[in-house]
Amino acid sequence: MTALPSWLSDWRIEANENITRLGLPAKSESWKYTSLPAAWSVEKLRAKPGSGDAQKFRSQIKDAITLDFVDGKYIKGQLPKLPAGVIIAPLSQQLADNNERVRQSLGNSTPGKTRSLISLNLAEFTDGILIYVPHGVKLDQPVFMHSFGRKDSVNHLRVLVHLEADAEATLIQHHTSAENAVTNIVHEFDLGARSKFHHYRLQDDDQTATHLTFTETQLAEGSELDHFSLTLGARLSRHEITSYLNGEHAITNVNAAALLGGTQHADFTSVINHQSPHCLSRQTVKNVLGGKSRGVFQGKIHVHQIAQKTDGYQMNQALLLSPQAEINAKPELEIYADDVKCSHGATVGQLDDNAMFYLRSRGLSAELARALLIEAFLMDALQQISKEDIRDIFVESMQAKQSEISDAAGRA
């Protein structure tokens, strides 16, 4: 492996010291509803390659800039000529070149000293993506990242995005894996004034896998984050997403959906920090839970005293398909300003009997009627994906997962 820059070697030493001090997450308040396997240790989560063949990749977005990763390492991509000043490249290449932009972007927004899994990522990652878009450039081609973890692999990836003022870019991520793979990925997004970043994430790992994600976004004046996550795979998954609205009129849209079955467990934990006046945040998270699956939603809107005229909304909706399925919802407002408009809520329900009866009376089978109602529930969330070709990929994956859950229910 190419020698690391000296500054990163020093940071890795500090990261390992943090890991030793903190240990793996235990039953703190933020991990109240989610537990890592008791047998796990820090050493078990060090990066390691897996075994078996890698999945064959296929380009799913026309004209996309693609980067493919196996076991946390870049293997191939389609990297066309880019507008002047734009950088889209594997982190391994940028580290080999000792690109100063990596140093400027890495670790600036993520409080790794207080979260051991982020420190572990810093200590272990060797690859990922750097996206840099200079002032005023609107990147028409989306960036498509596909990562695959082979059997028993432990993968650490880092994704760094820096948009200068008035820039725009789109990143789509598709995560898949084989049995018992572990993925620990950290995103750091730095959005300049009036920039706009679209981030769409599809997690469809093997049902025995573990997937841990941390996303931190710094938003300057007038910038906008458009984020959507769809969770379909992994036995255990957790996504922590934190937005810092640092400049006036910044906007963050953080939306997500999960479709789970069997004994899957998916945790979506978010903190939206309003740190400047006249900012807006919107968050809708939907869960469809079958079998003995469990969904967790922990969401906080934190409005600082200076953040007058804040407009914040947060909602979690869960649809339980089985009496054994479970949702833990904890929406929360923490407000220190007095001139704000904020609301939050959570609802839990089952498939509507009247709607089922209506569809059955029109000649639909029970299975098809159920599928249509589930799809309608989730499509409300998927409509948040503004780009149709990207939305189609997510819908296709959702429908495949829905068939899988229906087949399992039929065998039960």
State the pLDDT confidence band at 303, using cuts at 50, 70 and 90. Answer: very high
Q: Could you tell me what percent of the chain has a pLDDT over 70?
A: 96
| Model pLDDT, residue 297 | 97
How many beta carbons lie within 10 A of that of residue 369, not counting itself?
Answer: 20
Structure tokens at 66: 């693609």
Per residue in 74-101, pLDDT (tens digit) is: 999 988 889 999 999 999 999 988 788 8
Q: What is the mean pLDDT of the chain?
A: 92
Higher per-residue pLDDT: 386 or 213 = 213
CB 375 within 8 A of CB 401: no
State the pLDDT confidence band at 370, using cuts at 50, 70 and 90. Answer: confident
Whether pTM exceeds 0.85? yes
Asked if the model's pLDDT at residue 184 lies above 80, the reply is: yes
Asked if the model's pLDDT at residue 114 lies above 80, the reply is: no
| Model pLDDT, residue 355 | 87
* Separation in Å, CA 348 to CA 236, 333, 351, 401: 21, 20, 10, 21
Asked if the model's pLDDT at residue 130 lies above 60, the reply is: yes
Asked if the model's pLDDT at residue 27 lies above 90, the reply is: no
Per residue in 343-360, pLDDT (tens digit) is: 999 999 998 888 888 888
State the pLDDT confidence band at 109, using cuts at 50, 70 and 90. Answer: low
Among 260, 263, 360, 391, CA closest to 319:
260
For residues 309 and 239, give the distance between their C-alpha atoms in angstroms, rounded to a whole number.
Answer: 29
Per residue in 227-285, pLDDT (tens digit) is: 999 999 999 999 999 999 999 999 999 999 999 999 999 999 999 999 999 999 999 99
Structure tokens at 322: 């089985």
Per residue in 137-174, pLDDT (tens digit) is: 999 999 999 999 999 999 999 999 999 999 999 999 99
Per residue in 230-241, pLDDT (tens digit) is: 999 999 999 999
| Model pLDDT, residue 58 | 66
Asked if the model's pLDDT at residue 110 lies above 60, the reply is: no
Is the Cα dihedral 372, 262, 202, 223 positive or negative? positive
Asked if the model's pLDDT at residue 72 lies above 80, the reply is: yes
Asked if the model's pLDDT at residue 111 lies above 90, the reply is: no
Asked if the model's pLDDT at residue 179 lies above 60, the reply is: yes
Per residue in 319-341, pLDDT (tens digit) is: 999 999 999 999 999 999 999 99
What are 108-112's contacts with CB under 8 Å, separation 24+? 108/188, 108/190, 108/218, 109/188, 109/189, 109/190, 109/216, 109/217, 109/218, 109/244, 110/186, 110/188, 110/214, 110/216, 112/15, 112/18
Structure tokens at 139: 């990147």
State the pLDDT confidence band at 115, using cuts at 50, 70 and 90. Answer: confident
Q: Could you tell me what percent of the chain has a pLDDT over 90?
A: 70
Q: Phi and psi (nearest 5°) for 91?
A: -60, -35
Asked if the model's pLDDT at residue 1 lies above 60, the reply is: no
